[in-house]
Chain A
């Protein structure tokens, strides 16, 4: 340990005692055999000026502020009244230098614009399938294909209004897109809550650093919602549709509605009549024009999709197809975040935009292609296997952490349902110094970056920074909050 530490130039602070370098991993802050990344210098000297005890107190008071503000998510498994938990927050911010961010931002705009064109094409002429860029069978077997979208063009031609693209930094120091989330990406409220908490805890940093603000997100979101309203209305009634106060992401839903000053509605607040959508207000029915829904496709209209759904609005799809209401994200966008489709993303970008992809894609093996499956089965111990249609880190198999029995089991799972899985080389997520409460000091932990891109008919907006998620368990590579991850404030900063 001491040997390893000696190759790093660490700040003189007990908070960094025994900080170690993880082999074959990119450390966002420190470099082997050379000084720490220059853009972290001022932040490092600030953090090192705290004693361990002072830092602990700051950490505790931040946690408390999250609880009293109710910035929580609830789990109902072991308590019917719900256990509210905070999404653990780390006080050491992650810095992305402006020069790197400019490339990321450009790449995100490019990628999500291409995804939009791809979805539009699939629901219309399917040129990309005719031209055999993406195999037909891939789309035929995609469980997220929504036939109610066929030949229908949403207002403004936008499908993935809000995209959550997950990015990692590999040990080669390059950014890679790990997955696209174009259904209902969540987490953006934590970006704003984290920034708030950071400001309150260590206000001095904000006066000394040139950090890009994140507070423009609600305004950008609202502007985007207005941009996709029907031409028939001037001043659209926009709402956020939530499954209700018992949903684990309810805090975010209410935050979004509140920060835009629009109504937060549940399915039972709305009804349809003659293909228009209305909400029940104290003064009678009021028309609804744009719905930012935070419920899945299957639940939005019990007359069309799951008849047992009490979360949606009967007749919503019919009103939508008549163009009387805009739903975002559009139903059926899930075809683009199928992980087997992900494999084709570089080709998709080239096909629609005639540009080279700016962001790297992780090489991906499709198990439904015979040779690729053979490769996967043979090299499974070095690969990560993912189900194609899940998000939130569920069902991920990590070869180098599995026992022989687990490997055999996973092979059988793949063989039984090849279309259900893809495999990728084990990407080494970069690490970042993170305060570990049990140890009272900083240790390296794996992180990724969830970014947020908004698409309007003629404009793209990327939230500057995003949500850096941290795998708090030592050695863990899965950063999702549902799997015990935490997060960091993320600074896009002039060097």
Chain B
């Protein structure tokens, strides 16, 4: 009985040792207005979606007339999560525009952290975008 209890405590401590969460503070009355856009999601990796959730997507135009997209993500777990993401861009005809901007980017998010990832369209003809997330090994 004692041994089981000790083992349980040890396991609990080990599990907690890998957990670091993030505390945040921000201004309550927001000056800036985010142009939130409705999104369409396809979830095939429920494990990743449960851990790192997409909170919302907003977009804006850069001074040079390029579409800028920003995605807010949140880590629902207490441990650091590693994943890859990449943006795909499409022109007015729905044709994909390949560019280095579409390269996969390794990213990590701390436990319970909320953060933003963004990208800028490769050229002014781009109208739509898609973001893909892949869980790291």
Partners in one complex: no
A residues at B contact (CB < 8 Å): none
B residues at A contact (CB < 8 Å): none
